[in-house]
Structure 1
Amino acid sequence: MIDLFPDSTRVDRGSIALGGVAAETLASEHGTPLVVYCEETLRARARALAAAITPGRTFFGTKAFANVALLRLLREEGAGADVASIGELAFARAAGIAGDEVVVHGNAKDERFLAAAAAAGGLVVLDAPDEARLAADAGVGRALVRVTLGVDADTHEAIRTGHHGSKFGLPPDQALALLAEGLDAGIEMLGLHVHVGSQMADFDAQEETIGRLAAFAGRCRTELGWAARVADLGGGFGIRHHSDERVTDAVELAAAAATTARAAFVAAGLPEPEVWLEPGRSLVGPAGVTLYRVITVKRLPGRTWVAIDGGMSDNPRPQLYDARYTAVSAARADEPADEVVSVAGMHCESGDVLIDDVALPAPRRGDLLAVPATGAYTLAMASNYNGVGRPAAVLVGDGRARLIRRRETVDDLLALESPAP
């Protein structure tokens, strides 16, 4: 199970350490729940994904976790930012990322968002029939067109994006018309964008999509006399959240995507495109571990419930996507895992279950649990359900921990309330 943890993870006399800092020390100093990011893993993943598609470009899928410190770190490793809201754009700009380092997405971009994208010098992915005119009016200078090519990805239906009828992008005929409108509006149309889905475990759906993308690019050349210089293949590469998951490594998938796209375009009689990717989960997911404190243990007929001090407010993915996780006892990792338990959250929902079944050393109040592969879409999707503040996050490396997001307090929650009349 330790292979699910970040690169810097070590176990010393039963105690897990991340980035050279003991998990118990992190929990004592910063409280729980706590999301711990490993700097070594972040840098290694960013470098490996960039190398896999050289001379292409990577843009971190900020939706996985919008955080200024992480964006700065990833920028140091050559990654730009893929943003999908005016808030994510603000995070990128605060991290010093602007201009051609920003790709702006969204299936519902309004004039305010487009104006902010133009002010940042970002490249906009056109996604709707009237968006070329709106983008040009806002001052957007460069764009891609997102085309939806009707490939059904083998992933949860809530995170499929490339199928017929998707809310994202446009089918080929409408995408072609949007491309023509962008050219007529004077926007520099650099290329095409596709995205199949998230948490992709293999290359099958993306390979099919790339083949269809090259055929569509050929149609653009024939009908408009325009050749795509960029093939942005999106992201969506999966990671392992549980020991028994079988997921092809993202670096291998990225290399296959770049090689396949270049070959497909050339085979279609087109210039070899510059390949762009937008990895999110595959960059930060394996680098993150969430620490929880055990609050209660209930041994009932047929099931033992271990209740923690977090749950669906800090990680709603089990409820949204049937995501499966595992855990270890962070200070008792050398003891026999001799009891199968269910890990429940502290919220007023019977469905607030983080892990259905996991083997742990007989749990007791006060134990510290470490849940790996939680660096993506945990804090990014966290809420204040039951009036709970969102967790803190730290970045660890070389025996030091740096706070990169403070814990929300009750005062933070009350600060949003309007005063009584």
Structure 2
Amino acid sequence: MLDLFPDSTSVDGGQLSIGGVRASELEVAHGTPLVVLCEETIQARARALRQAVGDGRVFFGTKALPNVAVLRLLLSEGIGADVASSGELAFARNAGLGGGDLVVHGNNKAEVLLAEAASVGAPVVLDAPDEPALAAAAGVRQALVRVTLGVDADTHEAIRTGHHGSKFGLPPDQARAAVSEALDFGLDVMGVHVHVGSQLADFDAQAETIVRLAAFVASCRDELGWVARVADLGGGFGIRHHPADEVPEAAELAASAATTARLAFVEAGLPQPEIWLEPGRCLVGRAGITLYRVGSVKRLPERTWVAVDGGMSDNPRPQLYDARYTALSAARTDEPVDEVVSIAGMHCESGDVLIDDVMLPSPRRGDLLAVPATGAYTLAMASNYNGVPRPAAVLVRGGSARLIRRRETIEDLLRVEVE
């Protein structure tokens, strides 16, 4: 199970440590639920992906974890950011990212977002038939066009994006028309963008998409006299959330994507493009764990329920995507795992279940549980359901922990109310 935890994880005397800091010490200092992120793990994944793409570019999918400190850390490793809202753009700008470090996305971009992209000189990925005109009117100078090529990825239906009928991108005929119109408006159309889905466990769907993408660009050359300089292949590389998951290393998938794209373009009679990738989960997912404090323990004939002080308000992925997780008793790692239990959240929903079945040392009130592989799409999707404040987050390294997001308070929740 420790293979799911951050690189700096260790166990000593029954105590789990991340980045040289004991989980029990983090709980005392910062409370629970608490998201703990390992700086070394993020840096290692960033370096591996940059190496995999060669002379291409890597942009972090900010939606996975919009946090100023994390974006600043990634920028120090040469990683930019793709953003899909004014809020995400604000996170990136506060982290020090400039226009050349950014790619602006969205299937329904507000005019204010287009204007903000133009003001910082960021390229915009055109995603709708009228966006060339809107982008030009907003002063956008550089653009890519997102094309949907009809490949069904082997992943949960809620996170497939490259299939026919997707809300994202444009089918080839409309995408080609968008390229033509953007050129007519004087935009520098740098290239094309594709994305087939998230949590990809193999390369098949992306390989097929890349071959189709090269054919699409060749058709643009033949019909419009335009050739893409950039091939943005999106992201979606998966990670392991559960011991039974089989997922290749993201750097392997990234290298395969870059190599396949370069070869496919050459075979289509096109110059090799600059490769851009937009990974999110694989940069921060394994770097994070969530700590919970056990409350009630109910041993029923049907199952044993172990309730924790968080749940679907800090990690809705089990409910949204049938995501599977596991857990470790963070201060009792040297004890036998002798009971199968289900980890329930504290919310007023029967479906608020974090983990259906996991083996733990016989749980008791006050235990500290660590759920690994929660660095991505947990804080980003957190809510205030049941009036629960969202958790704090810390970045750990070399025996110290730095608070990078304070815990919300009830006062924070009331501050936006108007009486």
TM-score, normalised to structure 2, is 1.00
The aligned residue for residue 67 of structure 1 is 67
Q: Equivalent residue of 2:24, what SS?
A: helix
Give, as a single letter, the amino acid of the residue that structure 2 aligns with 1:139: G
Give, as a single letter, the amino acid of the residue that structure 1 aligns with 2:216: F
The aligned residue for residue 16 of structure 1 is 16
CA distance in 2, matches of 1:119, 1:408: 32
| TM-superposed deviation, 1:10 | 0.4
The aligned residue for residue 369 of structure 1 is 369
The aligned residue for residue 299 of structure 2 is 299
| TM-superposed deviation, 1:248 | 1.2
Percent identity, aligned pairs only?
75
Give, as a single letter, the amino acid of the residue that structure 2 aligns with 1:149: L
| TM-superposed deviation, 1:249 | 1.1
| TM-superposed deviation, 1:121 | 1.2
Give, as a single letter, the amino acid of the residue that structure 2 aligns with 1:210: I
Moved over 6 A (4+): none
> After superposition, where does 1:10-409 map in structure 2 within 5 Å?
10-409=10-409
CA distance in 1, matches of 2:305, 2:120: 50
CA distance in 2, matches of 1:103, 1:87: 14
CA distance in 2, matches of 1:251, 1:38: 19
Task: Spell out, residue by residue over 1:270-296, the C-alpha distance to the aligned partner (whole angstroms, 9 max, x if none).
Answer: 000110000000000010000000011
| TM-superposed deviation, 1:136 | 0.6
TM-score, normalised to structure 1, is 0.99
Task: Spell out, residue by residue over 1:362-407, the C-alpha distance to the aligned partner (whole angstroms, 9 max, x if none).
Answer: 0000000000000000000000000000000000001000000000
Matched, 1:410 2:417: no
Q: Equivalent residue of 2:394, what SS?
A: strand
CA distance in 1, matches of 2:61, 2:110: 20
CA distance in 2, matches of 1:158, 1:118: 31
Task: Spell out, residue by residue over 1:67-86, the C-alpha distance to the aligned partner (whole angstroms, 9 max, x if none).
Answer: 00000000000000000111
CA distance in 2, matches of 1:285, 1:148: 27
Q: Equivalent residue of 1:271, what SS?
A: coil
Give, as a single letter, the amino acid of the residue that structure 2 aligns with 1:7: D
Q: Equivalent residue of 1:417, what SS?
A: coil
Q: Equivalent residue of 1:192, what SS?
A: strand
Give, as a single letter, the amino acid of the residue that structure 2 aligns with 1:59: F
CA distance in 2, matches of 1:334, 1:115: 56
- How many residues get paired? 419
Task: Spell out, residue by residue over 1:338-369, the C-alpha distance to the aligned partner (whole angstroms, 9 max, x if none).
Answer: 10000000000000000000000000000000
Q: Equivalent residue of 1:307, what SS?
A: strand
- More displaced stretch, 313-322 vs 93-102: 93-102
CA distance in 2, matches of 1:175, 1:4: 40
User: Which 5+ residue runs of structure 1 have no aligned equivalent?
Assistant: none
CA distance in 1, matches of 2:237, 2:243: 17
CA distance in 2, matches of 1:384, 1:118: 33
| TM-superposed deviation, 1:302 | 2.2
Q: Equivalent residue of 2:36, what SS?
A: strand
| TM-superposed deviation, 1:111 | 1.0
CA distance in 2, matches of 1:282, 1:223: 38
RMSD: 0.5
